[in-house]
Amino acid sequence: MKLGEFIENFSHNNLIRLHYKIPGGNTCVLDDFDDVSMDWEVNKNKGPYSKYKNHKVLGLASILCGGPIVKQLT
C-alpha cells in the first residue's frame, strides 16, 4: 500500500514523520527530525512529506498520545 492510500484509509488528522529502515534501526527521510506534516497535507500535495505520497508503506512504527484518552475503546 502506498502512503497516500494508507492515510486515506487509516489516518485521520494525525502528525506524521516518515522513516526508512536501515541496518540496525531506522532514519528519518528528512534532514531535520522536527519536520512533520499533518496526514491530510500529504494527499493535498502540501508539507514536507507530500513528495512521498506514492512510496510504499511497510508498517506503522509508533503511535503517541500526548494527553488523556477521552474515549475508551471497547
Question: pLDDT of 16-53, one tens digit each?
Answer: 888 888 899 888 888 888 888 899 999 999 989 999 99
Radius of gyration of the chain (CA): 13
Residue 14 has pLDDT above 90, yes or no: no
For residue 13, being part of any structural domain is answered with yes
Number of domains the chain is built from: 1
**How far is residue 51's CA from residue 6's CA, in Å, rounded to a whole number?**
15
Residue 11 within any structural domain of the chain: yes
Give the C-alpha distances (Å, rounded to integers) separating 42 from 27, 33, 69. 19, 17, 26
Residue 20 lies in a domain: yes
Does 71 map to a domain? no
- Reduced to 3 states (helix: H, G, I; strand: E, B; else coil), residue 41 is helix
This prediction has a pTM of: 0.70
Q: Is residue 57 part of a domain?
A: no
Report yes or no on 35 lying in a domain: yes
Residue 73 lies in a domain: no
The per-residue pLDDT for 68 is 54
- Asked if residue 59 is part of any domain, the answer here is no
What confidence tier does 61 reach under pLDDT thresholds 50, 70, 90? low
Residue range of the domain that includes 11: 3-52
